[in-house]
Chain A
Amino acid sequence: DGGITQSPKYLFRKEGQNVTLSCEQNLNHDAMYWYRQDPGQGLRLIYYSQIVNDFQKGDIAEGYSVSREKKESFPLTVTSAQKNPTAFYLCASIPDRGYGYTFGSGTRLTVV
Chain B
Amino acid sequence: DAKTTQPNSMESNEEEPVHLPCNHSTISGTDYIHWYRQLPSQGPEYVIHGLTSNVNNRMASLAIAEDRKSSTLILHRATLRDAAVYYCILRRALGLIGSSYKLIFGSGTRLLVRP
Contact = CB atoms under 8 A, between A and B. Distances in A.
B99 A98 contact: yes
Contacts of A13: none
Contact of B103 (A45, A104, A106): A45
Interface residues of A, number: 33
Contact of B105 (A30, A43, A100, A108): A43
Given A43-B105, A100-B49, A30 B99 contact: yes
Contacts, number: 68
Contacts of A50: 95, 97-100
B41 A108 contact: yes
B32 A48 contact: no
Contacts of A43: 44, 103, 105
Nearest to A43: B105
Interface residues of chain A: helix, strand, loop or mixed (majority): loop
A31 B107 contact: no
A108 to B, nearest CB: 7
State the 7 A-B residue pairs at the shortest beta-carbon distance, nearest first.
Answer: A42-B105, A103-B43, A100-B46, A50-B98, A50-B100, A43-B105, A96-B99
20 contacts: A31-B98, A35-B103, A40-B107, A41-B105, A42-B89, A42-B106, A50-B95, A50-B97, A59-B102, A90-B43, A94-B99, A95-B99, A96-B98, A97-B99, A98-B99, A99-B49, A101-B36, A101-B44, A102-B46, A106-B43
